[in-house]
Amino acid sequence: MLLHFLVFLGVLVSWWFAVRSCGGRLKLLWLQASGCGGCTQSLLGAENRSGVFEQLAASGIELLFHPGVSEASGDELLTLLADAAAGRLPFDILCVEGAMLRGPNGSGRFHILSGSGLPMIAWVQRLAARARYVVAVGTCTAYGGINAAGDNVTEACGLQFDGNERGGLLGEDFRAASGLPVINIAGCPIHAEWVVDTLCSLTLGAFGENDLDALQRPRFYTEQLVHHGCPKNEFYEFKASALKPSDLGCLMENMGCKGTQAHADCNTRPWNGVGSCVRGGFPCISCTEPGFEEPGHPFMETPKIAGIPIGLPSDMPKAWFVALAALSKSATPKRVRDNAVSDHPLPVSSLRKPGKK
């Protein structure tokens, strides 16, 4: 008990010094680039009775501007952004949502910030140079995402990645004033708590480069697989697979699910405590990874070679999977086999056969 109290006291003191060191509060500026706004919609659904921005305010974060919730617009907004870019309006965190459109021909003029005459990428570059922390909110901002699919005529990319390749708009060597690279909160959309936890960690001064994985995503949510906590794990263990949409069985073998390869905690930290893609009957499409938007096959179809899925669990040799799958299927209980191809749980008799228990 005493140890828990001392740990809490240490965190509280760290937070107090972190807040004091940045003038009392961290100031957050949020820009919307090329995207659907789905990450903001997800963020607004954060599990907090008073609302996510009240939660951030209570954690020491002051919102200077967000295009979805702030009143500032027109000349007032342009003045705010110009002052921030020139250093007249200090701020700490730059969050960008949406891909960077560099086209046509690197000019960025496919996306002009209304009223400014300047491309959005120019504003992002100027503001990133002033920020203590730069945060990419969503896979589009991190790696290019849906915007970069197909021929990518808009030359879409992420802040510090272009798909799997380092670089992006800001360049491989970019570092914010804190010394950190871009923090990629990847997801399409993000889980609200991934953003909240990251921002709160920044206010505590408790987030360093070692807290990022190889793709610069916060490790607290990417060191797990979507497979962990999946409600269909019983079906997976017996390789009792769904054959069509709405079936209750495992979605990996036939329906394109990549939960055994995707890095995220979606099923151990469900949306609003209850939801995730697979909990809703839809396969995981690995949306936290660069290149998810072009898997090379329909999202709801598992590509196979000689009847074996090519997208096997990342830590399992193919020969092991084949052997275990055959063994598992031969031992599948009738209840599991029948439910796998049903759209609702089938009733199970509660009567036991007489005999030894």
Res 310: pLDDT:
80
Averaged pLDDT, 34-63: 91
Instruction: Find out whether 200 and 52 touch, Cβ atoms under 8 Å.
Output: no
Q: All domains of the chain, ordered by start, with CATH?
A: 22-222 (3.40.50.700), 224-343 (4.10.480.10)
d(CA 259, CA 9): 38
267 contact partners, CB below 8 Å, separation of at least 6 = 226, 227, 228, 229, 230, 231, 259, 276, 278, 279
Res 7: pLDDT:
38
Q: Residue 306 above 90 pLDDT? A: no
pLDDT digits (tens, 9 = 90+) for 233-257: 999 999 999 999 999 999 999 999 9
| Residue with tokens 């100027």, as numbered in its chain | 126
pLDDT digits (tens, 9 = 90+) for 135-150: 999 999 999 999 999 9
Single-letter amino acid code for the residue at 16: W
- What share of the chain in percent tops pLDDT 70? 90
d(CA 166, CA 133): 18
309 contact partners, CB below 8 Å, separation of at least 6 = 252, 253, 302, 303
d(CA 307, CA 165): 32
Q: Residue 354 above 70 pLDDT? A: no
Mean pLDDT rounded to a whole number for the chain: 90
Res 350: pLDDT:
65
Averaged pLDDT, 343-349: 85
pLDDT digits (tens, 9 = 90+) for 326-339: 788 888 899 999 99
Compute how many other C-beta atoms are within 10 angstroms of the C-beta atom of residue 157: 28
Single-letter amino acid code for the residue at 2: L
Instruction: Find out whether 249 and 344 touch, Cβ atoms under 8 Å.
Output: no
Res 305: pLDDT:
83
Res 24: pLDDT:
60
> What residues are paired with 29 via a beta bridge?
65, 94
Res 16: pLDDT:
42
Res 23: pLDDT:
45
pLDDT digits (tens, 9 = 90+) for 149-195: 999 999 999 999 999 999 999 999 999 999 999 999 999 999 999 99
**C-alpha torsion angle, residues 50, 51, 52, 57 (rounded to 10):** -50
